[in-house]
Structure 1
Amino acid sequence: MTEELAAEQRAALVLIPGLSCDRHVWQAQVSGLSGIADISIGDTLKDDSIALMASRVLEAAPARFALAGFSMGGYVAMEIWRRAPERVLRLALVDTNARGDTPEQADLRRAAIRTAQTRGFESVLRGSLRQLVAPECPEALFEEVVQMAQRVGFGTYMDQQAAIIDRADSLETLATVTVPAMVMVGAADALTPPRLAEEMVQALPGATYEVIAGAGHMAPMEQPDAVNAAFRRWLISRAA
């Protein structure tokens, strides 16, 4: 299969970043998939609710597009499907979760904010982000993740955590998906582990399932070649 497609054959692909992530989280996909997709990055840095993020992404997106969301971006992608399914050609959910937060999970998020306020944002980042990558993750890559979160900043982190706490449960929404769907998860993802990905696969009609070896939660950055290969398969798959 050729890596390049003519302009009229390339899909419009909208990629949505996760919590404390900017467009850098998708850098390897923008570079590696540019020959088969016209890629844009959804803006999740200005709003404090998943609904507002979804509205902003939809306002900037092409008329019809393939859609992929990573982590918090998956929550935004599922909200976009609820709002405008006629515009979504394909749906990919990467290292994410279809369920809403439990009260205990919401309390942990609020506690993380309080800890960052007292101990400093970078200190909390270095402790929490280490849990988001596979044990074998190179130190240089881990530093990229930390620097990205610092660029996004503590204010945005607080807004995004509030948005995540208040998000809708989307498990039942997945049963309504009628386009080619893919669920992807890092094999060592401790935040949204494979059991949650498998739950989404079971709920999504005909979804493909990609487990990325050697990756934790930050699979798009940790194992870009494997992630890009899975995206290529999804982008060229035929609709049922």
Structure 2
Amino acid sequence: MPVPAPITLVLIHGHPFDHTMWNPQLEAFSASRRVIAPDLRGYGASPSSPQVTRFEQFAQDIAALLDEREVDRCVLAGLSMGGQIAMDCYRQFPHRISGLVLADTFPAAETPEGVEVRHAMADRLLREGMRGYADEVLEKMVAPTADGAVKAHVHRMMTATRPESAAAALRARAARPDYRELLTQVTVPALVVVGADDTYTPVSDAEVMHAALPDSALHVVEGAAHMPNLERPREFNGVLERFLARIDAHS
């Protein structure tokens, strides 16, 4: 009897990055399974037009990609905004998802103050471009002690992002749904990962998601901030490998 192929892994990057933020995972997993890491609409090499106007369009783009690549079911992993997109994918097409990996993200809708902050940042990026923002947040995206090459990579991704695309995503993200109730209804295994020093989505946010998800594991990566997959790739990959092995065994 033939052994089923390992399940496809789809990696959704955060804001304002591109698919290369997943380079350590692409290198680690592509030899043993199919891995798809797209550039989201407006980011990286993807078309900048038409711009996203509703947050759910990101998930619809993922569904179209799965159709194009003839992927019936997958494990969906997302970091930060990518994690919120993964949640929206589960909201829209749960039957296509065999497992969820939610890294350094949070499920709640924006507060009124958060909406104002995102719109103000969108206006600033359109006015000033990406470099000043990238300089300011670099050592919140990754820990100050992160490897210099990692810092350079993260800074390069941020400054290469088109301000118009970043602003459009911020406005769409400001109006995204609240996923907290959705998490309680997830019927597939989930893995929640967070950097111990993440100030954008702290460990407390990860603990809330872990508690809400019916079948989940929580892993805190010491010495990492908002991007543990780049800051501590060996540890992140080890946790992800064990999770994928569990999904493969039951698929």
Give the TM-score normalised by the residue count of structure 2.
Answer: 0.88
**Equivalent residue number for residue 37 of structure 1:** 33
The answer to whether the 8 A contact 1:50-1:75 is kept is: no
Please point out which of 60, 77, 89 is paired with 1:55.
60
Q: CA deviation at 1:111?
A: 2.4
- How many correspondences in the alignment? 235
Q: Which range is displaced more, 57-66 or 128-137?
A: 128-137
Give the 3 Å change call, closer, same or farther, for CA 98–222 of structure 1 in structure 2: same
Please point out which of 172, 187, 190 is paired with 1:178.
187
Partner SS state of residue 78, structure 2: strand
**Equivalent residue number for residue 48 of structure 2:** none
Amino acid at match of 1:54: A
Q: CA deviation at 1:138?
A: 2.6
The 1-side partners of 2:250 and 2:72 are apart by 19
Aligned pairs (5 A) from 1:159-238 = 159-237=168-246
The answer to whether the 8 A contact 1:48-1:160 is kept is: yes
The 2-side partners of 1:201 and 1:12 are apart by 23
Indicate the RMSD between aligned Cα atoms, in angstroms.
1.9
Q: CA deviation at 1:37?
A: 2.4
Identity %: 31
The answer to whether the 8 A contact 2:125-2:167 is kept is: no
Amino acid at match of 1:57: I
The 1-side partners of 2:220 and 2:38 are apart by 24
The answer to whether the 8 A contact 1:180-1:239 is kept is: no
Residues 39-95 of structure 1: CA deviation (Å, up to 9, x unaligned) = 002442243432111011011111111111111011111111011111101111011
The 2-side partners of 1:97 and 1:239 are apart by 27
- Does 1:83 find its partner at 2:92? yes
The answer to whether the 8 A contact 1:45-1:152 is kept is: no
**Equivalent residue number for residue 14 of structure 2:** 18
Amino acid at match of 1:129: L
Q: CA deviation at 1:219?
A: 1.2
Moved over 6 A (4+): none
Give the 3 Å change call, closer, same or farther, for CA 147–7 of structure 1 in structure 2: farther
Q: CA deviation at 1:239?
A: 5.1
Q: CA deviation at 1:172?
A: 0.5
